[in-house]
Amino acid sequence: MTVLITGANRGIGAALLAKYSVEGMGALGTARTDGSLLPLNVTDPASVRALADRLADTPVSTLICNAGVLLDKHWDIDAPYAADIFADTFAANVTGVFLTIQAFLPALRATSGKIAIISSQMGSNTRNTGGSLAYRASKAASLNLGRNLANDLASDGIAVGTYHPGWVRTDMGGDEADISVEESANGLFDRITTLSMDTTGCFQTWDGHDHAL
């Protein structure tokens, strides 16, 4: 069985790929431009389809949708705000997640596999502290997507979990964040490993707590 991790060229995705490798579990990683990984641009339907065709004979049992962007980290509400920021954010963080899941459904159905969506607590209704509005809205949408897919795929025996990876010291999280990428990846590994039909539809933190929606 194979684990497929999108956005695995750096940060949490790279740490997850390393963790699965250390644990002796077959894992493949994707990236838009890193030649050492499988090519995938989640915002391009043709790229998603090409990867699914390439891996048509690979028994993908776990799909981890990690690829994402934060394009409005320092945006001020009174500053000019390009509409493309919302479009590009949703293309990567929501539509890209759905297109990837849809493309790999045949493989996941064949293995009774599982899907993990790396979202964020910034998409929770309990974390409405403002700022990064496009990112927050996209993560709320990815959370909603995960919970509804859990319902739609229950009859296929495919479990779907959505996860907050923590405030992580990455390019996105910054140097002052709480935890390292290794800590986040180790926790997410445990959460995804134990994901089952009993917990499908969950929204959990990297360290195992149920998060409010």
Q: Is residue 211 part of a domain?
A: no
Picking from 197, 16, 190, 196, the residue whose alpha carbon sits closest to that of residue 205 is: 190
Picking from 77, 78, 166, the residue whose alpha carbon sits closest to that of residue 122 is: 166
User: pLDDT for 121-139, tens place per residue?
Assistant: 999 988 888 889 999 999 9
Q: Give the residue with greater pLDDT, 92 vs 130.
A: 92
Work out the pLDDT band at 155, boundaries 50, 70, 90: very high
Q: Is residue 212 part of a domain?
A: no
Q: Find the CATH number of the domain harbouring 171.
A: 3.40.50.720
Q: Is residue 145 part of a domain?
A: yes
Q: Is residue 213 part of a domain?
A: no
Q: Is residue 138 part of a domain?
A: yes
* pLDDT value at residue 171: 74
* pLDDT value at residue 1: 86
Is it the case that residue 62 has pLDDT exceeding 90?
yes
Picking from 37, 68, 39, the residue whose alpha carbon sits closest to that of residue 52 is: 39
Angle of CA points 124, 63, 61, to nearest 5°: 135
* pLDDT value at residue 56: 97
Name the amino acid, one letter, at 153. Answer: L
Domain count across the chain: 1
Q: Is residue 112 part of a domain?
A: yes
> What is the span of the domain harbouring residue 175?
2-205
2-5 β-sheet, strand order = 38-39, 27-31, 2-5, 60-65, 114-118, 159-164, 203-205
